[in-house]
Structure 1
Protein backbone atom coordinates (compact mmCIF):
# COMPACT_ATOMS: atom_id res chain seq x y z
CA UNK A 1 0.00 0.00 0.00
CA UNK A 2 1.41 3.38 -0.99
CA UNK A 3 1.89 5.71 1.97
CA UNK A 4 2.30 8.94 -0.04
CA UNK A 5 -1.20 10.07 -1.11
CA UNK A 6 0.21 13.01 -3.07
CA UNK A 7 1.95 10.50 -5.37
CA UNK A 8 -1.21 8.53 -6.17
CA UNK A 9 -2.32 8.74 -9.82
CA UNK A 10 -5.94 9.69 -9.13
CA UNK A 11 -6.71 12.89 -7.26
CA UNK A 12 -9.68 15.22 -6.76
CA UNK A 13 -10.09 18.23 -4.44
CA UNK A 14 -13.42 19.59 -3.20
CA UNK A 15 -13.91 22.70 -1.04
CA UNK A 16 -17.27 23.18 0.67
CA UNK A 17 -18.90 25.58 3.08
CA UNK A 18 -18.59 24.22 6.63
CA UNK A 19 -22.28 23.48 7.02
CA UNK A 20 -24.23 20.23 7.49
CA UNK A 21 -24.84 19.72 3.75
CA UNK A 22 -21.06 19.32 3.34
CA UNK A 23 -21.27 15.77 4.67
CA UNK A 24 -23.69 14.65 1.95
CA UNK A 25 -21.78 16.47 -0.80
CA UNK A 26 -18.45 15.00 0.32
CA UNK A 27 -19.93 11.48 0.26
CA UNK A 28 -21.55 11.93 -3.14
CA UNK A 29 -18.30 13.28 -4.58
CA UNK A 30 -16.37 10.35 -3.11
CA UNK A 31 -18.75 7.81 -4.61
CA UNK A 32 -18.55 9.46 -8.02
CA UNK A 33 -14.76 9.88 -8.03
CA UNK A 34 -14.10 6.37 -6.77
CA UNK A 35 -16.46 4.86 -9.36
CA UNK A 36 -14.66 6.79 -12.11
CA UNK A 37 -11.38 5.38 -10.78
CA UNK A 38 -12.71 1.80 -10.87
CA UNK A 39 -13.55 1.47 -7.18
CA UNK A 40 -17.21 0.51 -7.34
CA UNK A 41 -19.82 0.71 -4.59
CA UNK A 42 -19.55 -3.03 -3.89
CA UNK A 43 -15.85 -2.89 -3.07
CA UNK A 44 -15.49 -3.87 0.62
CA UNK A 45 -13.58 -0.67 1.47
CA UNK A 46 -16.20 1.73 0.11
CA UNK A 47 -18.89 1.64 2.83
CA UNK A 48 -16.41 1.95 5.72
CA UNK A 49 -14.54 4.69 3.84
CA UNK A 50 -17.77 6.64 3.37
CA UNK A 51 -18.57 6.35 7.08
CA UNK A 52 -15.06 7.52 8.01
CA UNK A 53 -15.33 10.42 5.56
CA UNK A 54 -18.75 11.39 6.96
CA UNK A 55 -17.43 11.41 10.53
CA UNK A 56 -14.42 13.55 9.64
CA UNK A 57 -16.37 16.10 7.59
CA UNK A 58 -19.08 16.17 10.28
CA UNK A 59 -16.44 16.86 12.94
CA UNK A 60 -15.06 19.76 10.92
CA UNK A 61 -18.54 21.20 10.48
CA UNK A 62 -19.43 20.78 14.17
CA UNK A 63 -16.17 21.77 15.81
CA UNK A 64 -14.19 23.94 13.40
CA UNK A 65 -16.74 26.05 11.50
CA UNK A 66 -16.31 29.07 13.79
CA UNK A 67 -12.66 29.37 12.74
CA UNK A 68 -12.90 27.60 9.40
CA UNK A 69 -15.84 28.60 7.19
CA UNK A 70 -14.71 26.06 4.62
CA UNK A 71 -13.73 22.40 4.70
CA UNK A 72 -11.63 20.85 1.96
CA UNK A 73 -11.66 17.17 1.06
CA UNK A 74 -8.85 15.63 -0.96
CA UNK A 75 -9.60 12.28 -2.59
CA UNK A 76 -6.80 10.10 -3.97
CA UNK A 77 -6.41 6.51 -5.14
CA UNK A 78 -3.96 4.14 -6.73
CA UNK A 79 -3.93 0.50 -7.70
CA UNK A 80 -3.51 -0.70 -4.11
CA UNK A 81 -4.97 2.04 -1.92
CA UNK A 82 -7.63 4.62 -1.37
CA UNK A 83 -6.76 7.83 0.49
CA UNK A 84 -8.62 10.93 1.51
CA UNK A 85 -8.08 13.92 3.74
CA UNK A 86 -10.37 16.37 5.44
CA UNK A 87 -8.83 19.80 6.02
CA UNK A 88 -10.04 22.72 8.11
CA UNK A 89 -8.44 25.85 9.53
CA UNK A 90 -9.00 25.08 13.21
CA UNK A 91 -5.70 24.60 15.07
CA UNK A 92 -6.78 21.70 17.30
CA UNK A 93 -5.14 18.43 16.24
CA UNK A 94 -7.00 15.48 17.76
CA UNK A 95 -4.95 12.57 19.11
CA UNK A 96 -6.29 9.94 16.72
CA UNK A 97 -4.69 6.86 18.21
CA UNK A 98 -5.68 7.87 21.75
CA UNK A 99 -9.28 7.47 20.62
CA UNK A 100 -8.70 3.74 20.20
CA UNK A 101 -7.82 3.28 23.88
CA UNK A 102 -10.67 5.28 25.36
CA UNK A 103 -11.64 8.63 23.97
CA UNK A 104 -14.38 11.02 24.82
CA UNK A 105 -15.09 11.43 21.10
CA UNK A 106 -17.13 8.50 19.86
CA UNK A 107 -16.85 9.68 16.24
CA UNK A 108 -13.06 9.55 16.21
CA UNK A 109 -13.14 6.21 17.96
CA UNK A 110 -15.33 4.88 15.12
CA UNK A 111 -12.98 6.40 12.54
CA UNK A 112 -9.97 4.73 14.09
CA UNK A 113 -11.63 1.35 14.67
CA UNK A 114 -12.74 1.20 11.03
CA UNK A 115 -9.42 2.45 9.69
CA UNK A 116 -7.31 0.05 11.71
CA UNK A 117 -9.76 -2.82 11.16
CA UNK A 118 -9.24 -2.44 7.41
CA UNK A 119 -5.46 -2.34 7.81
CA UNK A 120 -5.31 1.37 7.08
CA UNK A 121 -3.55 4.34 8.59
CA UNK A 122 -4.61 7.73 9.93
CA UNK A 123 -2.39 10.80 10.26
CA UNK A 124 -2.98 14.35 11.40
CA UNK A 125 -0.87 16.86 9.48
CA UNK A 126 -0.78 20.41 10.76
CA UNK A 127 -0.64 23.38 8.43
CA UNK A 128 2.71 25.15 8.30
CA UNK A 129 1.29 28.18 10.10
CA UNK A 130 -0.19 26.08 12.93
CA UNK A 131 -3.71 27.33 12.25
CA UNK A 132 -5.23 24.30 10.59
CA UNK A 133 -4.83 20.62 9.93
CA UNK A 134 -5.65 17.74 7.62
CA UNK A 135 -6.61 14.28 8.75
CA UNK A 136 -5.43 11.75 6.16
CA UNK A 137 -6.89 8.27 5.96
CA UNK A 138 -5.25 5.62 3.77
CA UNK A 139 -6.97 2.26 3.21
CA UNK A 140 -5.70 -0.77 1.30
CA UNK A 141 -7.71 -1.98 -1.69
Structure 2
Protein backbone atom coordinates (compact mmCIF):
# COMPACT_ATOMS: atom_id res chain seq x y z
CA UNK A 1 0.00 0.00 0.00
CA UNK A 2 1.38 3.38 -1.00
CA UNK A 3 1.59 5.92 1.80
CA UNK A 4 3.32 8.76 -0.04
CA UNK A 5 0.54 11.29 -0.66
CA UNK A 6 2.60 12.99 -3.33
CA UNK A 7 2.55 9.85 -5.47
CA UNK A 8 -1.23 9.38 -5.40
CA UNK A 9 -2.52 10.45 -8.82
CA UNK A 10 -6.05 11.35 -7.75
CA UNK A 11 -6.80 14.22 -5.35
CA UNK A 12 -9.76 16.35 -4.39
CA UNK A 13 -10.05 19.00 -1.66
CA UNK A 14 -13.31 20.16 -0.10
CA UNK A 15 -13.69 22.92 2.52
CA UNK A 16 -17.04 23.47 4.20
CA UNK A 17 -18.51 25.36 7.14
CA UNK A 18 -18.14 23.32 10.33
CA UNK A 19 -21.84 22.56 10.66
CA UNK A 20 -23.95 19.37 10.59
CA UNK A 21 -24.73 19.56 6.86
CA UNK A 22 -20.99 19.09 6.18
CA UNK A 23 -21.25 15.40 7.08
CA UNK A 24 -23.67 14.62 4.26
CA UNK A 25 -21.78 16.76 1.75
CA UNK A 26 -18.47 15.04 2.59
CA UNK A 27 -20.02 11.58 2.08
CA UNK A 28 -21.72 12.56 -1.18
CA UNK A 29 -18.52 14.14 -2.48
CA UNK A 30 -16.57 11.00 -1.56
CA UNK A 31 -18.99 8.85 -3.53
CA UNK A 32 -18.72 11.15 -6.55
CA UNK A 33 -14.93 11.31 -6.61
CA UNK A 34 -14.55 7.57 -6.05
CA UNK A 35 -16.77 6.84 -9.05
CA UNK A 36 -14.87 9.42 -11.13
CA UNK A 37 -11.62 7.71 -10.13
CA UNK A 38 -12.93 4.28 -11.13
CA UNK A 39 -13.30 2.93 -7.61
CA UNK A 40 -16.61 1.11 -7.47
CA UNK A 41 -18.95 1.96 -4.62
CA UNK A 42 -19.19 -1.77 -3.89
CA UNK A 43 -15.46 -2.09 -3.24
CA UNK A 44 -14.94 -3.55 0.23
CA UNK A 45 -13.10 -0.42 1.46
CA UNK A 46 -15.74 2.11 0.38
CA UNK A 47 -18.47 1.63 3.01
CA UNK A 48 -15.96 1.67 5.88
CA UNK A 49 -14.25 4.72 4.34
CA UNK A 50 -17.56 6.58 4.15
CA UNK A 51 -18.34 5.71 7.77
CA UNK A 52 -14.87 6.82 8.88
CA UNK A 53 -15.19 10.11 7.01
CA UNK A 54 -18.62 10.75 8.50
CA UNK A 55 -17.35 10.07 12.01
CA UNK A 56 -14.30 12.31 11.67
CA UNK A 57 -16.30 15.19 10.21
CA UNK A 58 -18.98 14.73 12.88
CA UNK A 59 -16.24 15.01 15.52
CA UNK A 60 -15.06 18.28 13.97
CA UNK A 61 -18.62 19.62 13.89
CA UNK A 62 -19.30 18.60 17.51
CA UNK A 63 -15.99 19.49 19.10
CA UNK A 64 -14.13 22.00 16.92
CA UNK A 65 -16.76 24.34 15.45
CA UNK A 66 -16.30 27.00 18.15
CA UNK A 67 -12.64 27.48 17.14
CA UNK A 68 -12.75 26.23 13.56
CA UNK A 69 -15.33 27.83 11.26
CA UNK A 70 -14.42 25.40 8.47
CA UNK A 71 -13.49 21.77 8.08
CA UNK A 72 -11.39 20.59 5.14
CA UNK A 73 -11.35 17.09 3.68
CA UNK A 74 -8.60 15.90 1.35
CA UNK A 75 -9.47 12.85 -0.72
CA UNK A 76 -6.72 10.94 -2.55
CA UNK A 77 -6.31 7.59 -4.26
CA UNK A 78 -3.91 5.51 -6.28
CA UNK A 79 -3.93 2.02 -7.75
CA UNK A 80 -3.59 0.33 -4.37
CA UNK A 81 -4.54 3.00 -1.82
CA UNK A 82 -7.43 5.18 -0.74
CA UNK A 83 -6.42 8.05 1.52
CA UNK A 84 -8.10 11.02 3.10
CA UNK A 85 -7.58 13.63 5.77
CA UNK A 86 -10.00 15.66 7.87
CA UNK A 87 -8.62 18.99 9.08
CA UNK A 88 -9.95 21.55 11.54
CA UNK A 89 -8.43 24.46 13.45
CA UNK A 90 -9.08 23.19 16.97
CA UNK A 91 -5.79 22.50 18.80
CA UNK A 92 -6.97 19.39 20.70
CA UNK A 93 -5.42 16.20 19.31
CA UNK A 94 -7.45 13.14 20.26
CA UNK A 95 -5.80 9.95 21.39
CA UNK A 96 -6.51 7.26 18.85
CA UNK A 97 -6.11 4.38 21.25
CA UNK A 98 -7.54 5.51 24.59
CA UNK A 99 -10.54 7.86 24.70
CA UNK A 100 -10.47 10.53 27.41
CA UNK A 101 -12.43 9.64 30.55
CA UNK A 102 -16.05 10.71 30.39
CA UNK A 103 -16.12 11.37 26.64
CA UNK A 104 -17.47 8.05 25.48
CA UNK A 105 -14.83 7.94 22.74
CA UNK A 106 -16.96 5.48 20.77
CA UNK A 107 -16.54 7.24 17.45
CA UNK A 108 -12.77 7.15 17.34
CA UNK A 109 -12.84 3.60 18.63
CA UNK A 110 -15.01 2.67 15.67
CA UNK A 111 -12.65 4.52 13.32
CA UNK A 112 -9.67 2.61 14.69
CA UNK A 113 -11.44 -0.76 14.45
CA UNK A 114 -12.43 -0.15 10.84
CA UNK A 115 -9.04 1.17 9.75
CA UNK A 116 -7.00 -1.52 11.46
CA UNK A 117 -9.45 -4.24 10.35
CA UNK A 118 -8.79 -3.23 6.75
CA UNK A 119 -5.02 -3.06 7.25
CA UNK A 120 -4.93 0.74 7.02
CA UNK A 121 -3.22 3.47 9.00
CA UNK A 122 -4.33 6.45 11.09
CA UNK A 123 -2.16 9.43 12.02
CA UNK A 124 -3.03 12.67 13.81
CA UNK A 125 -0.81 15.56 12.75
CA UNK A 126 -0.73 18.98 14.38
CA UNK A 127 -0.59 22.10 12.23
CA UNK A 128 2.75 23.89 12.26
CA UNK A 129 1.32 26.51 14.65
CA UNK A 130 -0.25 23.82 16.90
CA UNK A 131 -3.64 25.50 16.53
CA UNK A 132 -5.22 22.81 14.41
CA UNK A 133 -4.81 19.21 13.34
CA UNK A 134 -5.49 16.70 10.60
CA UNK A 135 -6.49 13.08 10.99
CA UNK A 136 -4.96 11.15 8.07
CA UNK A 137 -6.34 7.77 7.01
CA UNK A 138 -4.98 5.31 4.44
CA UNK A 139 -6.80 2.17 3.37
CA UNK A 140 -5.57 -0.50 0.97
CA UNK A 141 -7.57 -1.11 -2.20
Settle same-fold status: TM greater than 0.5.
yes
Q: Does 1:72 align with 2:82?
A: no
Q: CA deviation at 1:4?
A: 1.7
What is the total number of aligned residue pairs between the two structures? 138
Q: TM-score normalised to the size of structure 2?
A: 0.95
The C-alpha deviation readout for 1:36-91, integer Å capped at 9, x for no partner, is 11111110100000000000000000000000010000000000000000000000
Q: TM-score normalised to the size of structure 1?
A: 0.95
Q: CA deviation at 1:3?
A: 1.1
| Residues in 2 aligned to 1:72 and 1:12: alpha-carbon distance in whole angstroms | 11
Q: CA deviation at 1:93?
A: 0.6
Gaps of 5+ in 1: none
Counterpart of 1:2?
2
Counterpart of 1:116?
116
| Residues in 2 aligned to 1:78 and 1:10: alpha-carbon distance in whole angstroms | 6
Taking only aligned residues, the RMSD between alpha carbons, in angstroms, comes to 1.0
Structure (1/2) with the larger helix percentage: 1
Q: CA deviation at 1:7?
A: 2.5
Counterpart of 2:24?
24
Aligned CA distance change for structure 1 residues 57 and 2 (closer, same or farther; 3 Å): same
